[in-house]
Structure 1
Amino acid sequence: MPATRTKRGIGILALALSSMLFSVFVADAHGYTTAPVSRQMYCADGTVTNCGEIQWEPQSVEGPKSFPKAGPRDGTICSGGLSRFSQLDDPRGGKWPTGAVTAGTATFTWRLTAMHATTSFRYFITKDGWTGTKPLTRADLEPQPFFTKNWNGRQPGSTVTDTVTVPSGKTGRHLILGVWDIADTGNAFYSCSDVRF
């Protein structure tokens, strides 16, 4: 009887320890856009409140890759399909802060807290007429990324800067979706940035 209790106690302790280690690993992972400023960055720096867990883990919006063929389902794209970050999918009545962008050359930046072998960084933009008053769907986005930087499995450093060409002809409010495709896992990281032309 005592041996059974000891084994059970050791098993519970091992489970608790592995859960703690997993939590630490998740909290240390992975990346988000800082330019243009992403929704998760606005939550992390306190510009936007009532964000839930994402305020402490802006880098953790990790979901299935192969977007737009696969990946997070419509309406959950900004959260990477993670219900614990669902505040990122909430349109907030179209009131997310916007950063100013113009057509032409721009610098986009990712802050990475854990580096991964990388397939690519890709950027999508919403179609004309998008108002930001409902959760993001694939139908809201132009079908192809307007910029892709291939990494061919290389591992980036803690900051990734891309010189991109922002599409011309856009006016008013839009959303830019950054997707960091990981080469050696089945996942990608998602980062939504509200912008105004």
Structure 2
Amino acid sequence: MAIRPPNDRSKSPLRRARYLSLLVTALIALVMTSLPSPASAHGVAMSPGSRTYLCYRDMIENGTPANPACAAAVAETGTTPLYNWFAVLDSNGGGRTQGYIPDGELCSGGHNGPYDFSSYNAARADWPTTSLRAGSTIEIKYSNWAAHPGDFDVYITRSGWSPTQPLGWGDLELIDSVTDPPQSGGAGSDGGHYYWNVTLPSDRTGQHILYVHWIRSDSQENFYSCSDVVLN
């Protein structure tokens, strides 16, 4: 809405005050609509850390991400996705995988959510990684930014996969599935999370992706998480 200045012939202080008040209100509204808004019902892996979570921590600790892959992602899609690191989602996912989310777009959930996570699909070997031992049993911690019932399917990339090639469904092997795991900490906090144990394959070495697909049982909303790991 355009705000008309007071008539030049009028020197009324009251009119000027009203004009300034309207102008300030309009500017505040413009600023507020341009700020990133927090998502309300989401989550990604915190341990091993997902790309969005570790890049967010990098940004908070350093002002701008020091990791080159994180820095490139911010240069491409800005910081709003990182302030919403837990919001890689599709409101109509409905448990669908291959044939619905295109190969090369798995880490962003197919670009179907409210934020642009497309830059986090980049096929490169310098994303932040977590070192793990092949064949070991690890505890997965998955953010419960908002708690929902459902299943968590855990995949890992197959032997021979390279981090410099786009991630496709054919690259993944399902290694675990859990329904309604326990939670620790409160929902809506940085530290709150679901947790459960997963045994890693013993025949993998080098860099891989641990991919978690959260399928809500009370709605069609799904969540997606790519964690870069190095298996020794």
With the length of structure 1 as denominator, give the TM-score of the two structures.
Answer: 0.77
Superimposed CA distance per residue, residues 106-140 of structure 1 (whole angstroms, 9 cap, x where no aligned partner): 11101121122x22111100011111112211111
2:165 is aligned to: 134
The 2-side partners of 1:120 and 1:155 are apart by 14
Mark the runs of 5 or more structure 1 residues left unpaired by the alignment.
1-15
CA RMSD between the two structures: 2.5
Superposition pairs of residues 32-47 of structure 1, within 5 angstroms:
32-45=44-57, 46=59, 47=65
Task: Tell me, yes or no, if structure 1 residue 60 matches structure 2 residue 87.
Answer: yes
Superimposed CA distance per residue, residues 142-187 of structure 1 (whole angstroms, 9 cap, x where no aligned partner): 2xx20111229x9996310111111111111110001111012212
Could you tell me how far 1:81 is from its partner in structure 2?
1.1
Q: 1:188 aligns with which of 222, 227, 231?
A: 222
1:6 is aligned to: none
The 2-side partners of 1:43 and 1:165 are apart by 26
1:78 is aligned to: 107
The 2-side partners of 1:80 and 1:65 are apart by 12
The 1-side partners of 2:51 and 2:170 are apart by 20
Q: Structure 1's 32 and 149: CA in aligned 2 closer, same or farther, altered over 3 A?
A: same
Deviates more, 1:62-71 or 1:127-136: 62-71
1:176 is aligned to: 210
Moved over 4 A (4+): 154-157
Aligned AA (2:132) = V
Q: 2:138 aligns with which of 97, 106, 123?
A: 106
Could you tell me how far 1:40 is from its partner in structure 2?
0.7
The 2-side partners of 1:71 and 1:111 are apart by 25
For this pair of structures, how many residues does the alignment match? 171
